[in-house]
Amino acid sequence: MAIIEHLPTLFMLVLLQAILGIDNLLYISIESKKVELTKQKQVRQLGILLAMVLRIALLFLVVQILPLIKEEIFSFGNPAVVNGRFSIHALIVLIGGAFILYTATKEIWHIITYDGSEEDLAKGKQSFSTTLLLIVVMNLVFSVDSILTAISLTDILWIMVVAIVIGGLIMIILADRVSEFLKKNRVYEVLGLFILFIVGIMLLSEGAHLGHMHLAGDPIHAMPKSTFYFVVIVLIGIDVIQTRYQRNLSKTR
């Protein structure tokens, strides 16, 4: 009976893992294509499995040091220009956002300058171990907020652990499907990169907000999740309409 009464909370946490894991899946799919074709599925699955184990370890660590993560560790700046007071949580989100923004910008630039040659294609390749490390690290960055949210919803560790495991298994299944979809529909890869770009901006704004940053005396606010999803829906709508329009034009020529 005790387990049954906790099922609604477990379902809510799994749903939370799934929603917050969408941008993570996008990153994994884009990053995994940089390794050899025969190893792409392996790097995705191994990366998610390792991240799932480390996420559980991170959960136990966060429960023990929760006050320290949110505690201010340093401050800097001039109130008239830019200033902030940063915690470990704020720094993790800021660094993660900056790296995702860098990755998306780099990939968008590679698409713009791509000339179709084998030499140019080879420039985008990286080692299996590097890709695996990036997937694991970024998975952990994405998991910080979901873990903190989970702790605010329940204090029962086994429920959070089960939710992480179920969320990880769902990600393993969906990661291959997302990657295959992007391979078969390369036009949507650009859309995915721009969504990832917005994710980077959202994390930067959230990290700045957590760090109590002020720019020219004005506080920096976190981008609302509703704004993020609205922008993503608009981008997808524009892409779908543009694609259909181009197909109709091709039929008339």
Model pTM score: 0.73
Q: What is the pLDDT of residue 3?
A: 64
Cα angle, residue 119 at apex, residues 113 and 125 outer, rounded to 5°: 85
Please give the Cα distance from 27 to 164 (Å, whole number).
19
Please give the Cα distance from 96 to 85 (Å, whole number).
18
Query: Would you list the domain boundaries of the chain?
Result: 7-252
Please give the Cα distance from 233 to 226 (Å, whole number).
11
| pLDDT one-digit tens code per residue, 133-146 | 888 888 888 777 77
Q: Do residues 2 and 98 lie in contact, with contact meaning Cβ atoms separated by under 8 Å?
A: no
Residue with tokens 């009976």: 1
Q: Is 123 exposed, middle or buried (0-12, 13-18, 19+ CB in 10 A)?
A: exposed
Q: What is the pLDDT of residue 114?
A: 62
| pLDDT one-digit tens code per residue, 167-184 | 888 888 888 888 888 777
Q: What is the pLDDT of residue 235?
A: 86
| pLDDT one-digit tens code per residue, 20-37 | 677 788 888 888 888 888
Spell out, as residue ranges, where the chain has pLDDT lower than 50. 1, 118-122
Q: What is the pLDDT of residue 199?
A: 85
